[in-house]
């Protein structure tokens, strides 16, 4: 079986490598010359654990290839997946579908055989129906079925999510489309993965609804953390007590500085706009978006308060810049407003992240000092801010911290340290939702 994937970004590249691992012949079309050149040289342009050897193994086996020509990618393909970006449009929050429809137009112009056109990108409800109408108008000479196959890949664990998923969602309304996608995912039958076959609109909405619900859990536990601080409770005990209820579950009940990344901020805002446009506004998700934005903006205030009300002229070390560990993605990371506010208020900010430094240089303000490791960032710092919970930060020795830092303020926005241990070492520890701050 042969398929084509249009777009060699995060979703497209991970999906291509994993489908190839299933034994499928996959050709990826990438229009960015620099990215295409790197892929052809065997260089992976994103950081995702396990992706490098997976791509190399399938390239060597001849199951995975890269091209800049749509015609070459789709030749003989039984399915063509569109996996391009759908960023938020400026000024409104609606998903920008220009890349999706540009890719579809190119595919339709180049096709010379019947196929299934599949949206892998996260697209608003109704997009599949619009693509079906476009296919019928542009290529009435060919039988082109349109399907939706949303991805549920978590950055940092995307390969496991693809190879051992909770479920596969397929929106398809013709038997041929259902057969092609069932055949593609047949290897998952061995592990009894549920494959949910729905209509186009239902599949498109499942993706948004799932991400919005998870974002709501994150926002809820963050608000509970604030309440815990006010009444002297421990948010981790609250989260554990909630998570043991099987109706709720423990995942995504981890307090912090707010959610970021490529999915939750974009998808929650897009769902708000989809609901408003449909005349069925989602007040709950509107509130989630507003509360999360306010939380991210307010985190720098916690740092400033812990530093005595001002950071002017002070050296602040910020460890972790990506929106979560095990990724190099800084999109909508809480670290961005934190560092920006600290720099704006006159602090000397020293930063380190194991994978996000290259992106940070493009997204953080001038005046930031980029350090080669955590201890270098901590040199002569009055305060330490933990913004991302990379495992290597958990292992920092309090005695070494005391030797390296000038001050004793620790603002742990991910609760990776034991408060008692740090306080016993002489630090003024400030966590999230913990007794005593």
Instruction: Catalogue the active-site residues.
Output: 263
Give the C-alpha separation, 33 to 349, whole Å: 35
Placement of tokens 């998952």 in the chain: 188
Give the C-alpha separation, 217 to 253, whole Å: 6
Q: What is the token pair recorded at 351?
A: 């930063």
Give the C-alpha separation, 51 to 8, whole Å: 13
Q: Are 405 and 337 in contact (CB under 8 A)?
A: no
Q: Is 199 exposed, middle or buried (0-12, 13-18, 19+ CB in 10 A)?
A: middle
Give the C-alpha separation, 358 to 356, whole Å: 6
Which of 51, 158, 33 minimizes the C-alpha distance to 42?
51
**Among positive and negative, which fits the CA dihedral 146, 150, 155, 159?**
negative
Could you tell me the end-to-end alpha-carbon distance of the chain, in angstroms, rounded to an integer? 57
Q: Is 294 exposed, middle or buried (0-12, 13-18, 19+ CB in 10 A)?
A: exposed
Give Cα 290 distance to the centre of its chain: 19
Burial 343-368 (b: 16+ CB within 10 A, else e): bebebbbbbbbbbbbebbeeebeeeb
Give the C-alpha separation, 162 to 164, whole Å: 6
E strand or H helix at 370: strand 369-370
Residues forming beta bridges with residue 170, ordered by sequence position: 197
Q: Are 80 and 100 in contact (CB under 8 A)?
A: no
Q: What is the token pair recorded at 220?
A: 């809820």
Which of 28, 100, 34 minimizes the C-alpha distance to 64?
28
- In the sheet that holds 25-29, the strands lie side by side as 64-67, 25-29, 2-6, 79-82, 115-119, 144-148, 168-171, 195-198
- DSSP E strands, 84-136: 115-119
């Amino acid at each position: 079986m042969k398929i084509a994937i249009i777009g060699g970004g995060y979703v497209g590249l991970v999906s291509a490598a994993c489908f190839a691992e299933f034994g499928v012949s996959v050709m990826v079309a990438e229009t960015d010359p620099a990215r295409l050149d790197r892929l052809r040289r065997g260089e992976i342009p994103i950081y995702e654990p396990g992706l490098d050897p997976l791509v190399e193994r399938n390239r060597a086996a001849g199951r995975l290839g890269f091209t800049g020509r749509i015609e070459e990618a789709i030749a003989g393909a039984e399915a063509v997946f569109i996996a391009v970006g759908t960023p938020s449009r400026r000024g409104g929050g609606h998903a920008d579908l220009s890349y999706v429809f540009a890719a579809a137009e190119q595919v339709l112009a180049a096709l010379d055989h019947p196929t299934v056109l599949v949206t892998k990108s996260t697209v608003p409800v109704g997009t599949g129906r619009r693509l079906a109408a476009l296919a019928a108008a542009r290529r009435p000479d060919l039988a082109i079925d349109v399907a939706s196959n949303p991805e549920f890949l978590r950055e940092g664990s995307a390969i496991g999510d693809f190879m051992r998923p909770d479920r596969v969602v397929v929106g398809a309304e013709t038997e041929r489309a259902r057969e092609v996608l069932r055949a593609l995912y047949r290897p998952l039958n061995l592990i009894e993965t549920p494959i949910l076959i729905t209509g186009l609109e239902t599949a498109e909405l499942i993706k948004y609804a799932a991400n919005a619900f998870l974002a709501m859990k994150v926002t809820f536990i963050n608000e509970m953390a604030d309440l815990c601080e006010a009444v002297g409770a421990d948010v981790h005990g609250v989260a554990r007590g909630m998570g043991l209820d099987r109706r709720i579950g423990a995942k995504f009940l981890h307090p912090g500085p707010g959610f970021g990344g490529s999915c939750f901020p974009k998808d929650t805002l897009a769902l708000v706009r989809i609901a408003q446009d449909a005349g069925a506004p989602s007040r709950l998700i509107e509130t989630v978006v507003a509360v999360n934005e306010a939380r991210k903006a307010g985190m720098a205030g916690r740092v400033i308060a812990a530093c005595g009300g001002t950071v002017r002229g002070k050296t602040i070390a910020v460890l972790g810049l990506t929106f979560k560990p095990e990724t190099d993605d800084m999109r909508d990371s809480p670290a961005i407003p934190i560092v920006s506010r600290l720099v704006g208020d006159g602090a000397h900010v020293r930063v380190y992240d194991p994978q996000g430094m290259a992106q940070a240089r493009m997204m953080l303000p001038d005046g930031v000092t980029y350090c080669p490791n955590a201890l270098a960032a901590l040199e002569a710092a009055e305060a330490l801010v933990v913004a991302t919970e990379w495992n290597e930060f958990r292992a920092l020795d309090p005695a070494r911290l005391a030797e390296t830092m000038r001050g004793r303020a620790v603002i742990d926005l991910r609760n990776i340290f034991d408060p008692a241990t740090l306080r016993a070492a002489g630090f003024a520890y400030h966590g999230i939702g913990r007794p005593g701050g």
